[in-house]
Structure 1
Amino acid sequence: MDSEVADEVEGRKILPEELSRSVVTLSCESTADGGNCDVFLVGTAHVSMESCQQVEAVISFLKPQVVFLELCSNRVAVLSPQNIKVPTMGEMVELWKKNHNTFGILYSWFLAKVASRLEVFPGSEFRVAYEEAMKYGGKVVLGDRPVNVTLRRTWSKMPLWHKTKLIYSMMFQSLFLPSPLRLNQMLKELDDVDMLTLVIQEMSKEFPTLMETLVHERDRYMSSSLLKVAREHSSVVAVVGKGHLQGIKNHWKQPVEMKELLELPSTKAAISISKVLSTVGVAVAGVAIISGIYISSRK
């Protein structure tokens, strides 16, 4: 790369080869000057320092009008430095008594538990992207589907037997929880992988609905919300997990029924599971996912 000018074509910046790894380039017509928008999808591994460094470098080089993040307003706290606190069983039981979504409680516990064992906080690349955009006054857009919608749809679509089986699996796998040192070693061995999506894929072999609600539906949602943003700007960098790259690309400029993707199940359906399964299962939530990392690392 001799100069930044050398990497421009008709005023449009082109990423140098060393920054193009795990980047998908899309485009669309736009109301912005020039009538076109270049979209750079940067795929990350979510728990990778290398991903954080690439995100920082790409945004610093391109300085896009908009930085689009795989986050929603309910997860905006990720953009601030994190103090990791793993919820106690008592705190999780209290959330359940207040009719908080059971899967949401499990998911939150998992993130906190895993994060407490990692060198890189899950989602750190989003904070890096936000901070880089702030340096030059770029706009930041949170473009993912609201997490409460995703979690409620995920839990409601699981048959009661699958809910029971999922929690039982977590309890059983808790016996094989890797040490913090071993977990970080495994993640480094799989540094080029979107770990969360990989584990969801593994779990979907037993629980088929997980892949649909946690990945495929969000692919469609983010592809549509990203296109809406792109049609009003000339350049966008979107930071998403590598597991979403192909789905967003496949649905680019395709019709997406956003209303359908935002439909919520009834409250009764969202919390229908026995008290025993909920209270006991919460205590060991997330273990199956960590175990999935271990299984994947041995393939």
Structure 2
Amino acid sequence: MKTIEINNCKIYFVGTAHVSKDSIEEVEKVISEILPEGIAVELDERRFLTIMSENKNKKIDIKEALKSGDFTKLLIYIFLSNSQKKIGEMFGVKPGSEMKKAIELSYLYNIPIYLIDRDINITLSRLLEKMPLKEKIKFLMALFEEDDDIEINEEKLREILNNPKKYVEMLKKLSPTIYNVLVDERDKYMAKKIFELSKIKNSLVVVVGAGHVDGIINYLKRLENGEKIDIDELIKVKDKKFKFSKIFGYLLTIAIFAFLGYILYYSISNPDILKLLTINWIIFTGGLAALGVVLARGKPLTALIAFLSAPITTLIPLPFAAVGTVAGLVELKFREITDKDIVNLFEADLKDLLNNNLFRILLVATLSNLGATIGVFYCLGKFTHIFILFPTLFLTIQTFL
């Protein structure tokens, strides 16, 4: 436990591992002994309701998720939830049990509870906005990797609790984007919330993941020294109606049509070149989209439709017209989504997820979109290389064909 005094308020930090029995015991011990004026927990409203509700009938509108283009965000949330649950099962602890214990104690001792974390949807949206394509590919490929060689035991959890900074730095090197959005931004957000609470409380117990404690304390000290943290900036998510990716999509479509017009202009005298480029566009956008379906173990017909639709949908910058949406909706026709699929989506281990119809549909949509995107950039790079960087080569090809 770490202690700091801000605004004449004594703040006790209980750094936890979300799947550790030791963390549950420490939370109970600290709160029972200190009996603070307030308890702050690393939860947002959604996760608070999930932890406290015994109702497991989660409802997911899969068609809406596909049409809105939010299936990748949902897939990441499922992956993170299941990874944490798998570790928790090793020790007989449900993820978030220490948070639930803190909430139960707040009821027992009649102490106000404060939810200080950023909304999970905002966090995942910002993660997807900032994560480069290369990191997204690495993350999705991790879904297919086996992690049986990774040893996680009580000793390892205690090591994480005792030296969280080491593992935070490892994450920072492994993926700066994930570190920035999942750790640093949330440290700032929670520090600002705690700082405001310290103005009206004499004592607080703060229950957060061990990896957040040092970062929050650092930002609290900065706030006390007069630095500002803009909460509005930390919860800003680009409006879907005007977000950059959509504008970029329109600009990319215009650029593609302009480029195709450029190609057509120079290919009038030689239709063989136009035919060659068209075939390349179909093969790479359609072929890689179909490959994505195959990797996700989708139906053969879904792969075929992805292959046929990708060369066209890649020219239309709208979520409901994306190849992932088309492929996902086709796959949905073959896979009946049951209540069991929805419940198991958040409870099955990673291997069982691949047999879950809902997860399979989301994976089909995500990987087919990813494949088509790679195909588009490959083709644009290839065409640009030929027609813009080497116009002389193009004219030479025209001469010999």
- TM-score of the two chains, using structure 1 as the length reference: 0.71
Is 1:102 matched up with 2:72?
yes
Q: Distance in 1 between matches of 2:26 and 2:66?
A: 39
Partner of 1:40: helix, strand, or coil?
strand
Distance change >3 Å, CA 218–CA 253, structure 1 → 2: same
Distance change >3 Å, CA 63–CA 98, structure 1 → 2: same
Equivalent of residue 39 in structure 1, options 11, 14, 22? 11
The structure where helix makes up a greater share of residues is 2
- 1:60, distance to aligned residue in structure 2 (A): 0.8
- 1:239, distance to aligned residue in structure 2 (A): 0.1
Question: Would you say how many aligned residue pairs link Structure 1 and Structure 2?
Answer: 247
Equivalent of residue 186 in structure 1, options 152, 165, 182? 152
Partner of 2:48: helix, strand, or coil?
helix
- 1:230, distance to aligned residue in structure 2 (A): 1.3
Distance change >3 Å, CA 223–CA 114, structure 1 → 2: closer
Is 1:26 matched up with 2:4?
yes
- 1:79, distance to aligned residue in structure 2 (A): 3.7
Is 1:143 matched up with 2:116?
yes
Equivalent of residue 263 in structure 1, options 207, 231, 236? 236
Q: Is the 8 A contact 1:78 1:127 kept in 2?
A: no
Distance change >3 Å, CA 200–CA 244, structure 1 → 2: closer
Aligned to 1:120: 93
Q: Distance in 2 between matches of 1:113 and 1:96?
A: 23
Q: Is the 8 A contact 2:71 2:362 kept in 1?
A: no
Distance change >3 Å, CA 152–CA 197, structure 1 → 2: farther
- 1:97, distance to aligned residue in structure 2 (A): 3.5
Q: Distance in 2 between matches of 1:70 and 1:98?
A: 29
Report 1 or 2 for greater relative contact order, CA contacts < 8 Å, sequence distance ≥ 6. Answer: 1
Partner of 2:104: helix, strand, or coil?
helix
Distance change >3 Å, CA 128–CA 274, structure 1 → 2: farther
- 1:85, distance to aligned residue in structure 2 (A): 8.2
Aligned to 1:225: 193
- 1:281, distance to aligned residue in structure 2 (A): 6.7
Q: Distance in 1 between matches of 2:166 and 2:58?
A: 23
Q: Distance in 2 between matches of 1:228 and 1:51?
A: 26
Partner of 1:106: helix, strand, or coil?
helix
Partner of 1:186: helix, strand, or coil?
coil
Q: Is the 8 A contact 1:86 1:113 kept in 2?
A: no
- 1:283, distance to aligned residue in structure 2 (A): 9.2
Structure 2: which 5+ residue stretches go unaligned?
Answer: 223-227, 247-317, 329-360, 368-401
Structure 1: which 5+ residue stretches go unaligned?
Answer: 1-22, 30-35, 285-299
The structure where strand makes up a greater share of residues is 1
The alignment's C-alpha RMSD in Å is: 3.5
Partner of 2:15: helix, strand, or coil?
strand
Aligned to 1:14: none
Matches within 5 A, 1:278-289: 279-280=362-363
Matches within 5 A, 1:1-299: 23-29=1-7, 36-80=8-52, 95-100=65-70, 102-112=72-82, 114-115=84-85, 118=89, 119-171=92-144, 173=145, 176-178=146-148, 186-192=152-158, 193=160, 202=170, 204-254=172-222, 255-267=228-240, 269=245, 275=324, 279-280=362-363
Distance change >3 Å, CA 67–CA 202, structure 1 → 2: same
Partner of 2:152: helix, strand, or coil?
helix
AA aligned opposite 1:64: P
Q: Is the 8 A contact 1:43 1:242 kept in 2?
A: yes
